[in-house]
Structure formats: structure tokens, C-alpha cells
């Protein structure tokens, strides 16, 4: 605590006799504490430190129990006063706006948070004691304005962040656990949306507290707000989230539209949660799904692999919703879809891409796009062929993630588009044979299990290719085992000859 000079004696000092406090004295005490928190900037640090000490002394006094147990008419305004005190405490311990390019940006926030958490624990224990007492309790009325600010504080400081320390995280976690206990909620989700259908929950109130800090002019003033919003949003799932769509979609779009990659990814995760937990009808209403699609599509031009991964996963879950608005009558060609548009852009980026992390990210998601389009993948067959051949030629490190995913993509492609494969037989056969020979001769640090997986996947592709080409692959490979000196290559060729039956692939 910061040292502070002499100050006026609080109204409760000198009143040691039971019942010596009046209701007005309690109100004056809390009002004075609020005034200390809102003091002039030059004196605010000392005044706030003094206010913490005064509040701790006030909460330890037995007369303070009357706030939660009494029915005195003069205490009717106290719940709102307690709510204002809780908001002031949360604001006192909140991290300040992050200056650009500085490392140690929140030196004393964790210490303040630990002190405030101890006060909240005392306050919640008073409420808990009132709840368990035989006196007709007013604790529910007092808890209503307290719950929201205490929850926001607890989430702000219980997560691992630059402004927290192990100590502040521990006590903030205790505050959250005690808050759930006092409110009789079994989980944070139950606290937010209600433990049952008849219970209202507190998500609306929490969003009301966060709303002033979630508009385009103020959302960066408090760096914790976006994390509290994101963490809280993830706890509210179907069917409760749909009724809060108007409160959650705009902030998610705002965060995802930032210039910082960290914020973009956080916003995309929020959008993905909304896509997964809001009914398609609600997302299609007012063209919301299209707004989501265009916001996500613009991120595909970024070069950060973590962002691309988050965006592609979200888009794959958004496609079924967008396609509900499209109707194909069966006469003429099927219209191109949003999935076609995204796959075309991905393939355009994949061809010249040389950064391994981005190559792995694109390759990881490519099979899902082929599955999504099915037979309609023929629209992208030429470009897919170039990407597959190019990626099979490049070593991808010990785990070979990109080449394994490209082989998975090729297997799906052979299954879905087998009528168009025979004209590409020679090109694909050469690429697969070259891959098998390269892997068999590989003397790098690639684990044997990875080499075996590559050889097995490539052999499966050869078997499918042979079936798509009505057995022509077996004929082209017939003389290789006699002259091949490498046992691994020979084993792959013999497996193709033994398992291929010359029948065309079945469409799936």
C-alpha cells in the first residue's frame, strides 16, 4: 500500500458500542469511500490506498452485517451503493491502456488486484453468512448489483495475462469460486445463462458492464476487456447464445477487424463460437452470415499461419449455413459456392508459397475442402494437380505434415473425380514414384514411422490410381520390381500389383 497522510476520521471510528452505528452512518461510510476513489488525479493514488484500508476496516466491523440481513428502510439504497463500490474496486485494479513497444507495462496491477480480491472475499463471505442466517435475508437484493462487477474483476485477474501474477491469479480464482458458491451456481456457464430454463442468468448484465469498453473508440482503453468478453462468450452455448446475438456479434467483428494479429485471431475465435452455437436461421436473418463471410474472407490475404488456421476452420463451419440460402433446381450447372471461392483463393496462395508454416496450414485444411465440394472439386482439378505435384516434391521437415496431408487430399481427389483421372495418369504416377524413391533414400532425421506413413499413403494412392485407370498402372509398373535394388520401393510396387483389381473407383 502507498503511504498516505492524515485524513478525516471515518464515520465509524469511535463507535464501539453495539448498535451505535446508524443506517445513515453506514451510507456515509460507503459514500466517503467512493469519494476517495473518485478524488483528484494528483491525490488519487494516496486516496485510493486509504480507501482500501477504510473499506477493509468497514467490512470487518460486525455492524456491516446489517447490509445483508437488515430490513431497515433507510438501507434500501445500499445495494446500488455496494455495486458502485465494487465497480470502483474493479476499475482501481484494472490494467491501464497498453503503450506501444514497451515491455513491462503493468508493474503494480497484480499487487492491486490481490488486495482488491481479499476485499471481495470478505464482502462475499458477509453475503454467505447472511444467506445462511435465520434472519429474513436481504442478501439476494444486495448480491444482484455486486455479482456483475465481481465476476468481471475475477475473470480479468484469474487468467494468465501480462498484468497478473501467480498470487493475483490464485486469489482472483478464489473470488470467482466463492461468487459461484454464493449465487448457488454449479459452473460459470450456469452463472451466465441460468441453471435452468426459468432462471434468467447474468450474461445480459455482464455485457452491460462490458459494453462501454467494447465500442470502436474505447475497446483498447482496457486491455483486459477483450479477454473477459471472449472468455465469457465461450461459456454461453446453444441454445442460450442466440438471444444475445445482437450483443455479441458486433464486438466480435470489431476485435477481428483490428490490425494486430493477436486481436484478429481472438475475434475470429469469437466469431467461430457464434457460428457453432447460433441457429442457421438467426445467422441468415438480416444477412448476418454474409457479413461474417466477408469479414473472414478478407483475412485470407494475411500471411500469419495461426490466423489463417483459425479463419479456415471458421469458414468450414460457416459454409453449410451459407448454402442453406442457395437453392439448385437441377436444371443446368450448379452455381459456384462460397467454398469454391475460398478454395480458389487458397490454391492461388499455395502454388508460390515457400514458407513451411503456411504450407502446412494450407495442406492441413485442404482435405476438408475436397470433402466439402465432393464431385464439384473437378472445377479446381487443374490447379489442384499443380499444387499436389509441387508439394509432393518438397521435403517438409521431420514430421512431413504437409506431404502427408497432400497425399490424403490426393486420395480424396481420386475417389471423387475418378472419371477425370485417366488423362492425368502419367503425371500423377511420376510424382508418386518420385516421392516413394525420395523417401526410401532419405537419410535425414525423419523418423521411421513418418517414412512408413508416407510410403503407405503413396502406395494407397497408386492403388486408387490403378483402379481409376482400369489397371494401366499395374502394366506400367510390371518391370520395376525386377530391376529395383531398393527393397522399400520394390515392396510398394508389389503391393500395388497384388491389391489392384482393375475396377474403377466408386464415387463417394
Chain segment 145-186, per-residue pLDDT in tens: 889 999 999 999 998 999 999 999 999 999 999 999 998 889
% of the chain surpassing 90 pLDDT: 52
**Nearest CA-CA partner of 124 in 73, 174, 53:** 174
Averaged confidence pLDDT in the chain: 84
pLDDT of residue 60: 77
pLDDT of residue 20: 44
Give the whole-angstrom CA distance, residue 239 versus residue 279: 8
* Per-residue buried b or exposed e for 458-476, using 16+ beta carbons within 10 Å of the residue's own CB: bbbbbbbbbbbbeebbbee
- To the question of pTM greater than 0.75 for the whole model, the response is yes
Q: Judge contact between 366 and 405, C-beta under 8 A.
A: yes
pLDDT of residue 484: 65
Phi-psi region of 332 (alpha: psi -120 to 50; beta: other; left: phi over 0): left
Confidence of residue 10 (pLDDT cuts 50, 70, 90): low
Cβ atoms within 10 Å, residue 180: 18
Which residue do the cell numbers 485471431 mark?
Answer: 265
* CA quadruple 397, 399, 400, 402: dihedral sign: negative
Q: Is the pLDDT of residue 401 over 90?
A: yes
Give the whole-angstrom CA distance, residue 207 versus residue 229: 8
Highest-confidence segment of 236-240, 345-349, 436-440: 345-349
Omega before residue 239 within 30° of 0, cis: yes
Confidence of residue 6 (pLDDT cuts 50, 70, 90): very low
Mean pLDDT within 12-19? 43
Largest CA distance in the chain: 106
Q: Is the pLDDT of residue 500 over 70?
A: no
Lowest mean pLDDT among 41-50, 429-438, 476-485: 41-50
Mean pLDDT within 413-431? 91
pLDDT of residue 363: 97
Lowest mean pLDDT among 125-139, 221-235, 302-316: 125-139
Q: Is the pLDDT of residue 455 over 60?
A: yes
pLDDT of residue 35: 77
Confidence of residue 203 (pLDDT cuts 50, 70, 90): very high
Could you read off the pLDDT of 348-382 as tens digits, one per residue? 999 999 999 999 999 999 999 999 999 999 999 99
Could you read off the pLDDT of 295-329 as tens digits, one per residue? 999 999 999 999 999 999 999 999 999 988 776 65
Give all domains of the chain, ordered by start, each with its CATH number.
Answer: 1-7+23-95+109-184 (1.20.930)
Is 53 or 40 the better-scoring residue by pLDDT? 53
487-499 vs 425-441: helix crossing angle, rounded to 10 = 140
**Nearest CA-CA partner of 90 in 182, 212, 189, 196:** 212
Is 37 or 112 the better-scoring residue by pLDDT? 112
pLDDT of residue 52: 81
pLDDT of residue 148: 93
Q: Is the pLDDT of residue 508 over 50?
A: no
pLDDT of residue 149: 94
pLDDT of residue 329: 57
Beta-carbon contacts of residue 242 (< 8 Å; ≥ 6 apart): 277, 278, 279, 282
Mean pLDDT within 448-470? 91
Amino acid at each position: 500500500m502507498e503511504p498516505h497522510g492524515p485524513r478525516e476520521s471515518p464515520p465509524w471510528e469511535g463507535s464501539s458500542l453495539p448498535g451505535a452505528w446508524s443506517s445513515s452512518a453506514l451510507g456515509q461510510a460507503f459514500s466517503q469511500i467512493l469519494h476517495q476513489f473518485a478524488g483528484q488525479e494528483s491525490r488519487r493514488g494516496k486516496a485510493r490506498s486509504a480507501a482500501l484500508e477504510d473499506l477493509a476496516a468497514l467490512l470487518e466491523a460486525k455492524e456491516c452485517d446489517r447490509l445483508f440481513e437488515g430490513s431497515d428502510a433507510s438501507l434500501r439504497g445500499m445495494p446500488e451503493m455496494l455495486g458502485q463500490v465494487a465497480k470502483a474496486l474493479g476499475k482501481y485494479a484494472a490494467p491501464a491502456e497498453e503503450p506501444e513497444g514497451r515491455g513491462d507495462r503493468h508493474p503494480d496491477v497484480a499487487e492491486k488486484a490481490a488486495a482488491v480480491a481479499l476485499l471481495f472475499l470478505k464482502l462475499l463471505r458477509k453475503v454467505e453468512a447472511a444467506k445462511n442466517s435465520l434472519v429474513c435475508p436481504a442478501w439476494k437484493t444486495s448480491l444482484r448489483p455486486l455479482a456483475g462487477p465481481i465476476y468481471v474483476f475475477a475473470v480479468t485477474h484469474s487468467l494468465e495475462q501480462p498484468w497478473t501474477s501467480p498470487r493475483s491469479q490464485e486469489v482472483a480464482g478464489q473470488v470467482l469460486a466463492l461468487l459461484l458458491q454464493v449465487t448457488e451456481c454449479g459452473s460459470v456457464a450456469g452463472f451466465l445463462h441460468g441453471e435452468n430454463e426459468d432462471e434468467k442468468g447474468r450474461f445480459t448484465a455482464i455485457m452491460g458492464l462490458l459494453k462501454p469498453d467494447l465500442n470502436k473508440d474505447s475497446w483498447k482503453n482496457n486491455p483486459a476487456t477483450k479477454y473477459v468478453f471472449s472468455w465469457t462468450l465461450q461459456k454461453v452455448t446453444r441454445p442460450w447464445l442466440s438471444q444475445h446475438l445482437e450483443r455479441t456479434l458486433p464486438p466480435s467483428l470489431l476485435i477481428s477487424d483490428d490490425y494486430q494479429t493477436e486481436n484478429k485471431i481472438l475475434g475470429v475465435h469469437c466469431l467461430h463460437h457464434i457460428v457453432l452455437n447460433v441457429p442457421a436461421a438467426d445467422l441468415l436473418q438480416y444477412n448476418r452470415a454474409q457479413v461474417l463471410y466477408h469479414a473472414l474472407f478478407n483475412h485470407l490475404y494475411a500471411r500469419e499461419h495461426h490466423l489463417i488456421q483459425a479463419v479456415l476452420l471458421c469458414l468450414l463451419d460457416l459454409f453449410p449455413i451459407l448454402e442453406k440460402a442457395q437453392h439448385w433446381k437441377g436444371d443446368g450447372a450448379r452455381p459456384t459456392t462460397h467454398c469454391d471461392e475460398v478454395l480458389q483463393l487458397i490454391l492461388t496462395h499455395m502454388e508460390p508459397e515457400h514458407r513451411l508454416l503456411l504450407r502446412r496450414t494450407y495442406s492441413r485444411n485442404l482435405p476438408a475442402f475436397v470433402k466439402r465440394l465432393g464431385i464439384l472439386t473437378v472445377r479446381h482439378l487443374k490447379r489442384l494437380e499443380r499444387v499436389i505435384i509441387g508439394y509432393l516434391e518438397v521435403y517438409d521437415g521431420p514430421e512431413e505434415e504437409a506431404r502427408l496431408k497432400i497425399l490424403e487430399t490426393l486420395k480424396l481427389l481420386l475417389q471423387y473425380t475418378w472419371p477425370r483421372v485417366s488423362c492425368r495418369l502419367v503425371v500423377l504416377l511420376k510424382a508418386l514414384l518420385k516421392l516413394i524413391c525420395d523417401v526410401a533414400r532419405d537419410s535425414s532425421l525423419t523418423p521411421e514411422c513418418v517414412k512408413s506413413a508416407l510410403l503407405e499413403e503413396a502406395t494407397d494412392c497408386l492403388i486408387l490410381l490403378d483402379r481409376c485407370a482400369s489397371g494401366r498402372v499395374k502394366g506400367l509398373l510390371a518391370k520395376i520390381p525386377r530391376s529395383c535394388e531398393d527393397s522399400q520401393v520394390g515392396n510398394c510396387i508389389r503391393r500395388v500389383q497384388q491389391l489392384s483389381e482393375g475396377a474403377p473407383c466408386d464415387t463417394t
